[in-house]
Amino acid sequence: MIRNPLKVMAVAVAAVGMIVLGGSQRAAADIFITVSSGTSTQTFDAPSNTSANTTFTNVGGYSFSIQTVITNYPGTGGQGEISTTVNLASFTAGSPALVTTVQLTNPGGGTNLLWTSPSSSPVSVTAGTSFTTQSGVSAGTVSTTTYYSSPGVTSGLGGATVSNSAAYGTGGGLSTASAAYSGPYTLAQTVTLTGAVSTASSFNYGGTSSVSSIAVPEPSSMAIAGLGALGMIGYGLRRRKALGA
């Protein structure tokens, strides 16, 4: 008689465990970062969908650490954003470009995951760079490319791109493009450093990629604007008539 209650309890515990584990698996996401310079490549797979912080490591002639922050994933229809900062501790002058690629993937760095759809179409896709004046730095260019894709492109980068570049000392910049598609989407970025010249022991730079809704005027606002335009036209006609008389 004792076995049946124990069996029922065991089955219940197993079911709860499967639900919890299954739910965690469905919600799991990794920030997958690939850093390359010439033929040297290093990958980082952070089991998080909010932030990733790497330890200092070496790729090619560079020693660096990376901080990446993900905004609004899985999100609730607001702006989706990837913001990455590279802290460069040292590098060998003349080294090939240092390319940092950030993707939000399923565990293990496989298929890119879908972000929550913006609330309206078209949407605004941006790429921004940050490379402000820092002691010891005298040259270099940072380029950020944002990759915005429909669900049909779920691996690699692909999809529509928006790029922005900033030469050292300009402080950075922002490029924006609109896309008609506003369903679920993938978002990824690359941040590339080329031609850096520095006598400083360290400096940093970064890039931001985002997707947000474009504000569309409400019908009431459009009606008010239309009435205002008609009023101006009427005023002009009356003025012309008065001057003609």
Cα separation, 147 vs 125, in Å, equals 9
In a domain, 70, yes or no: yes
Residue 12 included in any domain: no
Both tokens of residue 191? 């941040």
pTM of the model: 0.76
* Helix, strand, coil share (%) of the chain residues, nearest 5: 20, 45, 35
Does residue 7 lie in a domain region?
no
pLDDT digit string, tens, across residues 145-201: 999 987 777 888 888 899 999 998 888 899 999 988 778 889 999 999 999 998 887
Flag whether 10 is in a domain. Answer: no
User: Residue 44 belongs to what domain range?
Assistant: 29-220
Structural domains counted in the chain: 1
CA distances from 147 to 107, 173, 228 (A): 20, 17, 41
| N-terminal to C-terminal alpha carbon distance within the chain | 110
Helix (H) or strand (E) holding 15: helix 3-27
Do 170 and 137 form a contact (C-beta atoms < 8 A)? no
Residue 17 resides in a domain: no
Structural domain includes residue 110:
yes
For the segment 98-118, what is each residue's pLDDT rounded down to a tens digit?
Answer: 999 999 998 888 889 888 878
182 in any annotated domain: yes
13 found inside a domain: no
> Which one-letter amino acid corresponds to residue 52?
A
**Tokens encoding 156:** 């690699």
